[in-house]
Amino acid sequence: MKNVKIAVIMTVHNRREQTLNCIKRLFEECSSLDIYLTDDGCTDGTVDAVKNEFPDVKVIEGNGNLYWNRGMYVAFQKASQYDYDYYLWINDDTVVCRTFLENLLACSESENDRSIICGATLETKDSSVITYGGYTKDIKSLPLSEGKQYCDFASGNIVLIPRFVYNRVGNLDYYYRHALGDFDYAGRARKLGLKIVQAPGVCGQCRRHSSIPKWRNTDYSLICRIQHLYSPLGRNPIEFIYYDYRHNGLMRTIIHFFTLHLRCFFPRLWGTNYNKKE
């Protein structure tokens, strides 16, 4: 593997064993990685365990209200103060494959280090199921391939950002709390003429969080569903207005705002396929 400086960007909240396992696998692949980790209010001993087992990890304290996107923003902002060739986003529930980093770097080099490179992950209990990676314009997962594939979006589970891309696009947008930040980043990059590429093969394993969200689960009251819809872990319509208007235009923004509420008020109108990615 070529001699480059890589900053790993992570945010964690109460997934002690998964976090430790993720970091262990990263260092097994490359011992010279600099890991920037946002502690978003962990109460299960995650950070103490990280500091004990991996004292070189750079921990940034959060307040417990950052969630994924803002936690990643904080770690990214800290890492960007230093001179790195690449920034690597990793979700702490992801177990990277051996040689995944060589795969990402080779793919990036084939793009002259001027594209966003994402890695596909498989379900831990069913290796035939793709969980995260690159997506088409209509949000369909790309299939696995022996060659690189161009895509429109990338989930933030495994993403390599070359310095050139960071210098053009910058950090994640702090406006988003939990979701949408990764898709927004890809959309901003494409507007600047940059490409998003899924690296060949598989880069890791990660379970899909596929339980029915509260905001469209009829086991909960309407009031509870509305509250969850507007929460950071729901499908906050205000954040979607911001995202849709930036990337999809006024008409799509209006339509999506109303359909989100219809799905919350009348979830059965959309049948029982609650786990389909939106």
Least confident of 122-126, 202-206, 255-259: 122-126
Both 141 and 244 in one domain: the answer is no
Neighbours of 50 (CB within 10 A): 23
pLDDT at 268 (0 to 100): 84
Distance CA 106, CA 108 (A): 5
How much is the average pLDDT of 201-225?
Answer: 91
Both 55 and 175 in one domain: the answer is yes
pLDDT at 274 (0 to 100): 38
Distance CA 266, CA 261 (A): 8
Does 149 map to a domain?
A: yes
pLDDT at 276 (0 to 100): 36
Both 179 and 260 in one domain: the answer is no
Distance CA 87, CA 218 (A): 41
Both 242 and 108 in one domain: the answer is no
Provide CB contacts within 8 A for 90, sequence distance 6+. 8, 9, 10, 22, 26, 96, 157, 158
How much is the average pLDDT of 60-75?
Answer: 96
pLDDT of 210 above 80: no
Does 106 map to a domain?
A: yes
Among 170, 205, 240, the domain boundary falls at 205
pLDDT of 114 above 50: yes
Domain boundaries, position 241 = 214-270
Q: Which two tokens stand for residue 222?
A: 């309407």
Instruction: State how many domains the chain has.
Output: 2
How do residues 258-269 score in pLDDT, each as one tens digit?
999 999 999 988
pLDDT at 272 (0 to 100): 47
Concatenating the DSSP letter of every residue in 62-99 gives --S--HHHHHHHHHHHHHTTS--SEEEEE-TT-EEPTT
pLDDT of 100 above 60: yes
Task: Please check whether residue 176 is in contact with residue 239, taking contact to mean a CB–CB distance below 8 angstroms.
Answer: yes
pLDDT of 254 above 60: yes
Mean pLDDT value across the chain: 94
Does 278 map to a domain?
A: no
DSSP bridge pairs for 50: none
